[in-house]
Amino acid sequence: MGKERTEVQKISPSKTKQTIGNENELIKDALCLWEEKTLSSGRTVIPFSFTVPEKLPPSFEGEYGFIRYQLRLRVVRPTPFIDQFVTRPLSITPIYDLKSLPYTSYRTRRVINEKREKILKNGYLKAIININKSGFVCGEKVDILVDINNESPAIIRGIKGVLRQHITYFSYDECEPKTRIKIAQCSYNIIEFDQRYEVSPKERSIYRGKSPQLPPVSPSIRRKRIHIDYDIQFEIYLEQCPSAFASIPIIIGNVPCNHSVDPPTVAFHRLDRLTPPSPSSVTSILNENILHLEQKCGKRSQIKDSLYNFNRRYLSPLTLYYDF
């Protein structure tokens, strides 16, 4: 069993609580394990296995929605006895092959070109920020190169980068596809890396660095009800001046792309969000040597977790996994 759900509660002008959102059933497969009418006394072991369908969305827990899977076992008992149920949550992570999209290997850049009349009236600041590619997997580091031309009277004191996750929740009716509306949007800072780097006035310098390893987070997805996007926001500190900002969108998957190439056009760099790949077939990468960090998540309610004796551990502000 699997479902995708979004929900947000809002207060209307008449002070009444209004719930906006809906859910969709992703999968509901049934398998009969015992077809006899009776079970012998004592302990009975019934081994079974099942195949997880390909191209299911990953398990995800958010503030206004989730994608959950569970395995439910039902023991049918004769009347007047009540049927017994055992439920266990499942964590599913499909294959997101970054090589399936060419632009995940493109080198990406943003340009900061600012001339502020009050602060930088005697000059300007220009910075060209480059990252080695657009698609990454958990555990990778981002190569950063910043070409800084400081034609201003202010001193540059440092460079800061923030990996941000943007989650957008939608209400969607399968019967009326054109009625999809955005009900909530959240942004979170996943990791921050700050580097002291000074550039004196009227000087030019090139900064080279690497980000920390990307932590285990949900891959970039585009569902009808949930969008998960990522970008890296760069901040250049100016002494006694407001900082200069620029953001570069990236995609996070779990099968890495191999090479970095120059994009065919510059129009690609103007996008604020990148469309992630669709889940790939398992058979298409059987011969690949894949290294990745395990990503798991499950129920959000800690009360329900305690009923199943699950121990929740946090890997990042948005990712959690369970010990069984």
- Kindly report the number of other CB atoms within 10 A of residue 300's CB atom: 14
Instruction: Say which CATH number the domain at 153 has.
Output: 2.60.40.640
Percent of the chain scored above 70 by pLDDT? 71
Burial 262-280 (b: 16+ CB within 10 A, else e): ebeeeeebeeeebebbebb
Q: Are residues 58 and 107 in the same domain?
A: no
Residue indicated by tokens 């395995």: 71
Q: Are residues 62 and 119 in the same domain?
A: no
Q: Are residues 111 and 204 in the same domain?
A: yes
Confidence at 111, pLDDT banded by 50, 70, 90:
confident
Confidence at 177, pLDDT banded by 50, 70, 90:
low
Q: Are residues 72 and 219 in the same domain?
A: no
Q: What is the pLDDT of residues 117-162, one digit of tens each?
A: 455 566 788 899 999 888 999 888 999 999 999 888 888 999 999 9
Residue-level pLDDT at 167: 92
Residue-level pLDDT at 191: 92
How many distinct structural domains can be found in the chain? 2
Domain that holds residue 217: 100-285
Q: Are residues 66 and 138 in the same domain?
A: no
Taking 70 as the threshold, does the pLDDT of residue 1 lie above it? no
Q: For strand 135-137 and strand 241-253, is the pairing parallel, antiparallel, or unpaired?
A: parallel
Q: Are residues 26 and 131 in the same domain?
A: no
Q: Are residues 163 and 92 in the same domain?
A: no
Q: Are residues 23 and 146 in the same domain?
A: no
Q: Are residues 92 and 109 in the same domain?
A: no
Q: Are residues 305 and 211 in the same domain?
A: no
CA distance 271 to 140: 23
- Kindly report the number of other CB atoms within 10 A of residue 40's CB atom: 7
Residue-level pLDDT at 42: 79
The larger pLDDT score, comparing residue 180 to residue 1, is at 180
DSSP per-residue string spanning 143-174: EEEEEEEEESSSPEEEEEEEEEEEEEEEEEET
Q: Are residues 241 and 304 in the same domain?
A: no
Q: Are residues 137 and 224 in the same domain?
A: yes
